Amino acid sequence: MTPILPDTYSKEEKEEIERRHQRLIDAWQTRKEAQDLEAVNKAFYFAVEAHKDQRRRSGEPYIYHPIEVATIAAHDIGLGRTSIICALLHDVVEDTKYTLDDIREMFGEKVERVVDGLTKFDNLEGAESAQAENFKKVISSLSYDIRVVLIKLSDRLHNMRTLDSMPKHKQLKIASETTYIYAPLAYRLGLHAIQIELEDLSLKYTNPTIYYNIRKRMDDARGKRMGELRDFIAPIEAELEKNGIKARAEIKERSINSVWKRMMDKELAFEDLYGSFLVRLITDCPQEQERMECWKIYAVLTNCYRPYTKKLKDWISFPKANGYESLHAVVMGQTGNWVEVQIRSQRMEEIAEKGFGAYYKYKTDSQTESGFDEWLKKAQDLIGSESDNAIEFVDNFKLDLFSDEIYVFTPQGKMMTLPKGSTVLDFAYYIHSEIGDHSIAANVNNQLAQLDRKLTKGDQVEIITSESQHPQEKWFEFLATATAKSRLRSGIKEYRRTFREEGEQKYEEIMRKLDLEPSKANRNEVMNAEKLTSTIDFYYQVATGKIDERAIRNVLKPQSSGNNFVRYITFGLLGNNRDKEETSSITSSGEFDFNVSTCCNPIPGDDVIAFNFPGEPLQIHRSNCPKAIQLSARYGNNIVKARWQPKSEIAFLAELKITALDTAGLLNRMTNLLSNELKLNLHSLHMEAKQDVVEAAISIYVHNTKELDDLIEKLGQLKEIQKVVRKNN
């Protein structure tokens, strides 16, 4: 007996609800046994009752929405009984009096779990972004049930289709979310039809002028282009029949958003853009014959028309991570216009349009893992390794798993897909964390490459490792993927953990020397001053000398301001100590010893800053020296202002970097200027020519900044020299 619909609906609405119900059943593509129909009908009437008092902003019954979401899931994605039930119930817990316990009791644990994944968080007080938290919840469901994401995409598509009734600010918010997260997610799951509709609808609300302009141009061009393409197809069909190849031809048009993106990328007007309308050739053959049949069709195509070989894209030999397979060719048509042609099998066509559902429909037990399986594993790994910060989680997920891809090869010829922009070090960490942690370089296409080398499509990469190598903080600058960064972070933590015992011993020795207790409270005080949150990092920095006796003393036994009674110290170099690597000793008009740091090589005339640490000579740096800036931030109480003596007869080492054109006699003219004209002593000169450009590094002794400025000016007057700068080291 069919349940009676609640009286909160009008007669017309009841008829419409039943009509949509039947349309849902008709759209259901998988098997429909009596027990399946009974379960779906039970969920349908339960949802109708639960939402009976609710209306959408448009005024229509709310129940229309879950029915349409279930219809999209059934028809456009090809999902089955459990997914249809969950789609019908996806808003019940969020919007009605019913709870997850009620769902579990009536429909079982599987349905409850999926509905829970689809239910937005109620209370997100204190959360940095409610949107990001809910995105994270949906994306995290990839680790346990992909149906949550598929139903959420169906939900988003219907919301976008009915966005007209929302106020403008809501339209922009929802459309922007769709562009940022949902359309790329649909693409990654191979749901091409859903992806392009989401993108088009997003463009409609974010940039309606462009949307309607391109739609009108597509409408105006359709008749002419369709006629041209029908004429284009005729000789291909004749040649296919002649060669006994079974294939059908279809004319397709690109989505409005796709046309707009191509116009922007190529900087072309609509009229100059080929590919707005294209031809698709589809062969229906056994799966084991697909590749051969597709290439036969390509041979027929190129017998009829001249190909643009640089535009050939072979997604059959190298399928995309979302399972997409096709040959893309561009040929010159009879009218003098380029025509894009896509060649694929019927199986490839279904996967291209319906993605995930179609992929698993065709997958066999013996089939090797596809790019889609690998992508899903990467997604699950990323979900399992990410932090609690929802914004960072979503950004990293988008960076790693939504970006364009490149494929590279291992030395054994195994193909790997990586996000575009990945480096050698990203590749190493994708292979294994241990390989990444011990990487020192790589052979890329049999040529030595550094860890920060960006990879390009088709590179063959062999990672070179060393047991003595260890993961380093600076490597974060080399990495483009969140997966590799996460593994590097873990590697650094494990490496630093090995220094704990040594760090504890050094810490206790320093505390005994300072006559202080090595207590937890004292340790935490030093950690706070050094802005450290982990004891692993603290003991590592103590063990390696980054936190030393001076740093601990400065925190736990700060010097009184009386020690810094000298506000200005006048000094000058009385003798060079050129063999000393770190500093050169100088004395002053007071009772202080000084060291001039070679990290920045200050010379008379530079603004300088001095640091006074107990029991050590004053350290003199240029005030803009990175090390001085770091010391100033950490030991501000130890700063002593300093200035040069008015005159100095002693020369100081300065370094210059020169860029010049590679011409005959350049070196002779430079050394003649330095030695004969300016009478300066040259310490070292290194020159390297690359094609027609010379890079030179000069170390020279000068007495002050004026002398150095004169040298830079005169070097710049040589016609070959393009640029002269002082090195800051």
- The answer to whether residues 159 and 63 belong to one domain is yes
Query: Which residue carries 């029949």 as its tokens?
Result: 241
**Chain mean pLDDT for the chain:** 81
Q: Last residue of some domain: 556, 591, 626? A: 556
Helical (H) or strand (E) element with 641 = strand 639-644
**Of 624, 644, 664, which one is at a domain's C-terminal end?**
644
Q: Per-residue pLDDT tens for 526-541?
A: 888 888 888 999 999 9
Please state the pTM of the whole predicted model: 0.60
491 with 540, same domain?
Answer: no
What is the sign, positive or negative, of the torsion defined by CA atoms of 38, 39, 42, 43?
A: negative
Residue 15 a catalytic site member: no
**Is the distance from CB of 297 to CB of 319 less than 8 angstroms?**
no
Are residues 286 and 300 both part of a single domain?
Answer: yes
**Do 552 and 597 belong to one domain?**
no
pLDDT at residue 564 in the model: 35
The whole-number pLDDT of residue 147 equals 84
266 and 304 assigned to the same domain: yes
Task: Specify the CATH number for the domain of residue 270.
Answer: 3.30.460.10
CA distance 177 to 183: 9
**Per-residue confidence band for 425, with pLDDT thresholds at 50, 70 and 90:** very high
Domain membership of residue 390 (yes or no) is: no
Assess whether 388 carries a catalytic annotation: no
Q: At which of 577, 610, 644 does a domain end?
A: 644
- Token output for 251: 């004319």
**Who's near 652: CB < 8 A, 6+ residues apart?**
573, 596, 601, 602, 603, 604, 701, 702, 703
Could you give the CA distance from residue 425 to residue 453 in angstroms, rounded to a whole number? 8
What is the DSSP code string of 414-435?
Answer: -EEEEETT-BHHHHHHHH-HHH
Quote the domain boundaries for residue 505: 498-556
- Give the integer Cα–Cα distance in Å for 330 and 322: 23
Instruction: Please write the tens of the pLDDT for every residue from 60-72.
Output: 999 999 999 999 9
Please say whether the dihedral angle defined by the alpha carbons of residues 520, 524, 530 and 534, taken in this order, is positive or negative: positive
Domain at 479, CATH number: 3.10.20.30
DSSP annotation of 388? S
Same domain, 593 and 695: no
Same domain, 674 and 548: no
Note whether residue 673 is domain-resident. Answer: yes
The Cα 355–Cα 76 span in angstroms is 10
Which pair of tokens denotes residue 638? 């130890």
Between 100-107 and 109-118, two packed helices, what is the crossing angle to 10 degrees? 150
Task: Please say whether the beta carbons of 133 and 121 come within 8 A.
Answer: yes
Give bridge partners of residue 463 from the DSSP assignment.
Answer: 442
Tell me the residue length of the chain. 729
Answer for the pair 506, 542: CB distance below 8 angstroms, yes or no: yes
User: Domain check: are 575 and 634 in the same one?
Assistant: yes
Catalytic residue among 18, 60, 95, 720: 95
Mean pLDDT lowest among 140-144, 381-385, 567-571 = 567-571
Question: How many Cα neighbours within 13 Å face the side chain of 299?
Answer: 8
596 & 540 share domain: no
Unique residue bearing structure tokens 């450290």: 532
Query: How many domains is the chain built from?
Result: 6
Distance CA 92, CA 97 (A): 8
pLDDT at 127 over 80: no
Q: What is the C-alpha to C-alpha distance for residues 459 and 439, in angstroms, rounded to an integer?
A: 18
| 254-267 average pLDDT score | 84
As a whole number, mean pLDDT of residues 542-565 equals 71
For 200-240, the pLDDT digits (tens) are 998 898 888 889 999 999 999 899 999 999 999 999 999 99
Report which of 512, 428, 519 is spatially closest to residue 475, judged by C-alpha positions.
428
Identify the band that residue 650 occupies on the pLDDT scale cut at 50, 70 and 90.
Answer: low
Tell me which of 26, 53, 94, 128 is the catalytic residue.
94
CA angle (21 as vertex; 19, 25 as ends), nearest 5: 115
**pLDDT for res 648:** 60
Q: Are residues 42 and 131 in the same domain?
A: yes
